[in-house]
Amino acid sequence: MRGIPGGARALILCAVVCAAACALPALLPGAQVPWGTVALIAAVYAVCELPARGPFLGRFLGGSVPLSAGSFFPVLLAAALLLPPAAAALAAVPGAVVAGVEQRPAGARRLWRAAQLALAAWAAAWAAVRCGGLGAAPDSPRALLPAGAAALAFCLVLTALDGAILATAERLPPRAAWGGPLSRSLAPHTAHGLAGLMMAVLWRSPYGPLSALFVLLPMYISCWVFTQYHREQHAHRSTIRALVQAVDIKDRYTRGHSERVGRASVLIARELGMDEERLEVLRFAGILHDVGKLGVPTRVLRKDGPLTPEERRVIELHPEYGHEMVRGIGFLGEARAAILHHHERLDGSGYPYGLAGRQIPEFARVVAVADAFDAMTSTRSYRRARPVTTAVEELKRCSGTQFDPQMVRALVRALARHGWQSEVTADEPPPPGAPASHRGPSSVPAPAPGDGLRGAHEPRVPRVADAVTGARAAREGIGRRRDG
C-alpha cells in the first residue's frame, strides 16, 4: 500500500470490509449454499482470467490481456443469476486474485479488484433476486428482467467504484471520473448480461454445466480481438516514442519538453471533461507538437545568438513540416490539426495561417497553453525555471489575446488539484548559482486553489514571448512573428 494516497487506501480498506460483509452470510452455519456450483463457477472464472499465463493459450492470444478488458464478466453475471448474493460474491474472488496485474503495487491492486468484483457480483445477484430471479422457466422472456437488472447493477457498482478510486488516487474531477466511464460501459455490460443469461439457462438445462461452457468460445474470440487492438496501440506508442526521441536528439535544449506538454494537455482536457479516447489523441498531439523541428536545420535550432529574420521564418515553418510528417498516420486524428495550428493566436496574429478565435481547432488551443506553460516552468541551460505561479499569471495576462481563456482556466484548476513536476531538460548543467532545487527533479509549487482568473476581459499586455527573449523563445515554441 506504500505510495498510494491516503484517500485511496481508505477506499480500498472500506471496499474490502464491505465485500467481506456481503460474503459472510454464505459462510455462516445453516446457510443454503450450492457449494458445488460456487466452486465450479469460481474455477471457470479463474481459468478465464489466466489465458496469458498458460503456455498454450498465452501463445495463442499473443500476450497478456489488460485487466480492463472485462471479456469474462458474463461468467460473474451467470453466477449472479444462479447463486444467492453472498455466494455470487465469493465466486468472483479467486479469479480476481489470480488475474495478472500490469502496474504496481500488485498486492493492493489485486485486493481492490477482488473487493470490487465481489461487491459488483453481490449487487447483481441482489438485483436479480429482487426481480424474481430465473424462476421455474429460465428460458421464458420473463428471464430478461432479472438479467437486465443484474447487468445494470453490476455496471453501476463497477463504475461507481472505478470512479471513486480515480477521484481519490488520481484526483480526477467527478465528470471525468464517473461520467465518461458510465456512458461507455452501459452497452458492453448489457451484452455481458445477455451472455450471462445464456450461460445460466444452459447451466440449468438438461445438458448441464458443460453446455454452458460453450458460451465461453465467443468470449475468447472477443478477448483475442481485444488483445490484437492492445498490441496495435502499443505499436502506436512505439512510433510516437521514436519520433519524440528523434526531436530530443536534434534539439537538446528542450529534452523532455514534448512529454510534459502531452501531460499538461491531458490535465487541461480532463478538466474540460473530454472523453478518454480523445484524451489519448490529445496526448499524442502534445507529445508531437514540435516534431516539425526535424525539418529545421540543426544549426538554427542550436544557435546561441539572436536569430535573423530569415532564420526566424525557418523556425516558424516547423508546424507545417510536422503536419506533413504525420499526415499519413491515421490514428493521430485530431492531433494533426493541433500540430499544424498550435502557434495560432486567439487575436489572429499567430502562424502559420493567422487563424483567430474558434477558427483555431480545440486541440491546438489546448496544446498552445500547455506548450507555453512548460516552456516557462522548465529549467534550461541558459536560465532558471519560472515558478508555476508566475507562469500562470503570464498565461492569464495573455488570455483572450494569445490563449483561449477556457483552456487557461482549466490548467489553473488542474494545477490546484495535481500540482506540477518539472525538471532540468537540457544536457548541460544548470546555470551558475541556480538553487539546489533546479539541479535535478524538483517539485514546483502550484497556485492556491482559490487563485481566480479575470479571463478574456483583461487589458492587452505584452506577449508571453516577451518574457523569454530572442532565439530561446523561438526554440520554446511560445514566440510569435515580429513584423519588420
Indicate whether 98 pLDDT > 50: yes
Q: What is the pLDDT of residue 252?
A: 66
- Is residue 243 within 8 Å of residue 290, measured between CB atoms? no
Nearest alpha carbon to residue 419 among 449, 451, 454, 385: 449
Q: What is the pLDDT of residue 61?
A: 45
Mean pLDDT of 148-162: 93
The CB density around residue 228, as the number of other CB atoms within 10 Å, is 13
Q: What is the pLDDT of residue 191?
A: 85
Mean pLDDT of 283-301: 88
The per-residue pLDDT of the chain, averaged, comes to: 78
Beta bridge partners of 442: 422
Task: Name which of 227-231, 251-255, 284-288, 391-395 the model is least confident about.
Answer: 251-255
Mean pLDDT of 202-211: 86
Q: What is the pLDDT of residue 360?
A: 95
Q: What is the pLDDT of residue 337?
A: 93
Q: What is the pLDDT of residue 181?
A: 73
Q: What is the pLDDT of residue 256?
A: 80
pLDDT confidence band for 138 (50 / 70 / 90) = low
Indicate whether 399 pLDDT > 80: yes
Q: What is the pLDDT of residue 460?
A: 30
How confident is the model over 340-378, as pLDDT tens digits? 999 999 999 999 999 999 999 999 999 999 999 998 888
Structure pTM?
0.54
- Is residue 362 within 8 Å of residue 406, measured between CB atoms? no
More confident residue, 189 or 423: 189
How confident is the model over 406-428, as pLDDT tens digits? 999 999 999 988 888 765 443 33
Mean pLDDT of 132-145: 78
- Is residue 289 within 8 Å of residue 338, measured between CB atoms? yes
Distance (Å, whole) CA 393 – CA 458: 12
Distance (Å, whole) CA 130 – CA 85: 11
Determine which helix (DSSP H) or strand (DSSP E) holds 17, and give its type and residue range. Answer: helix 6-27
Distance (Å, whole) CA 23 – CA 472: 63
Distance (Å, whole) CA 406 – CA 390: 19
Q: What is the pLDDT of residue 370?
A: 94
More confident residue, 301 or 26: 26
Q: What is the pLDDT of residue 253?
A: 63
Q: What is the pLDDT of residue 483?
A: 33
- Is residue 350 within 8 Å of residue 364, measured between CB atoms? no
- Please report the beta strands in 326-453, taking only residues with DSSP state E, as ranges in sequence order: 420-422, 442-444
Give me 377's grid cell: 516552468
